[in-house]
Structure 1
């Protein structure tokens, strides 16, 4: 399984499980993430926790998988699956906590924009680097400016990597703790949530739900860009460099 779902009686855990690929998200991963979110939304948990296995939260979309898309139909299928996971993430009725245990790049970083609370280890690194590949980060483009203002454009237009404290300063992250304190901080957040009236929590969740329309448009544009010669060349170059 590329995504693990489990319920510990308090939280629903969704664990990205491609440790050897830095939890990069291929089509199967996006589908399993979607299905796990739907399960978590129906179980008895207070909150949904998304994290990654190993040293990464997620390196984002699997570049090898995207580079291999050879037709409009293949691209549409891949990105429709991605969008279905994003839709599930936005429509869940419980708070979503991202527990960032390591690097969060590209789509992995964008998941944080769709989460309600982000708890990060102090050694985590963040980057939105799709521009290097001739692509766009759809969630960051569609709702990033509304969420973070001009601070998000720095990440979009430089593709630079920032550390956890910088991510907190711009509002991408809420809590930064040493890696060994991640669970302690998570439990503190869960305790605060559990002390609230849960009907009120669900109501607040519905009022703060993001508009999917702009994200859907951006995902469609990404599916087109993915097939351009420029993007193909840049993705192939990335793969060649990392295979060397």
Structure 2
């Protein structure tokens, strides 16, 4: 199937999925979210046993596309988009393949949630990550709460979510947000990891993955449902409107907790 916002390159039982909205730093609009959902389902149903995810251009993904949010002020279409996000994340988390995200440039918001849904998360040394929903008065979605709590524990996860700041790769590695750091060209790193992983007993690795994912899926589903409910509520707040206005006007937001 031909996609417009993502590219899938398959070689035998290994596939690489490129986010490809280069002019928007791979920000996820409605079309990209739908295409990501579709392509991940396609990969999950195939013979692929090793999947890499990275971004074309200067970023892994800047997160959700703000223009999409602004064009949907009355919440029309909100539920279908959130259902697609839920399907996208669950499909990736439960996929019968070992998944590796390679963060090039920035991975923010929903983009970071997507990266964290993979089994291995690697980041280029100069890249940055951010769970930055708080800066526009929203809560993380895409299972962001679930994945950060898994990696950091509840207390530190709350701090990362509440601060909403960009975190340099070295710090992200030290605290456990990412699993490895690499320097230089992402394609070269992808090839190195591919060679190492293809020499591993992938079938046994996938069996262990599926044991864990089946155990944890109910909690992930609960988290995604709670995120959807709270995201809708937060979209209706004054703080969200102020956060978006401040972002567009390139100024500091003046939140009131309302």
> How far did residue 173 of structure 1 move?
1.3
For CA contacts below 8 A with separation 6 or more, give which structure has more relative contact order.
Answer: 1
Aligned to 2:256: none
TM-score by length of 1: 0.90
Contact kept? 2:53, 2:101, Cα under 8 Å: yes
Which whole-Å CA distance do the structure 2 matches of 1:19 and 1:39 have between them?
23
Which whole-Å CA distance do the structure 1 matches of 2:198 and 2:236 have between them?
46
Aligned to 2:108: 105
Q: How does 1:72-151 map to 2 (within 5 A)?
A: 72-138=75-141, 139-149=143-153, 150-151=155-156
Cα 1:45–1:152 shift into 2, 3 Å: same
> How far did residue 20 of structure 1 move?
0.9
> How far did residue 10 of structure 1 move?
4.4
Cα 1:157–1:168 shift into 2, 3 Å: same
TM-score by length of 2: 0.85
| Residue 205 (structure 1) aligned to one of 199, 204, 209 | 209
Aligned to 1:5: 8
> How far did residue 18 of structure 1 move?
0.8
Q: Which runs of 5+ in 2 are unaligned?
A: 252-258
SS in 2 for 1:235: helix
Contact kept? 2:148, 2:177, Cα under 8 Å: no
How many residues end up aligned between the 2 structures?
241
Q: How does 1:189-204 map to 2 (within 5 A)?
A: 189-204=193-208
Aligned to 1:69: 72
- Pair 1:231-2:240 in alignment: yes
Q: Which runs of 5+ in 1 are unaligned?
A: none
CA RMSD of aligned residues (A): 2.0
Which whole-Å CA distance do the structure 2 matches of 1:231 and 1:140 have between them?
19
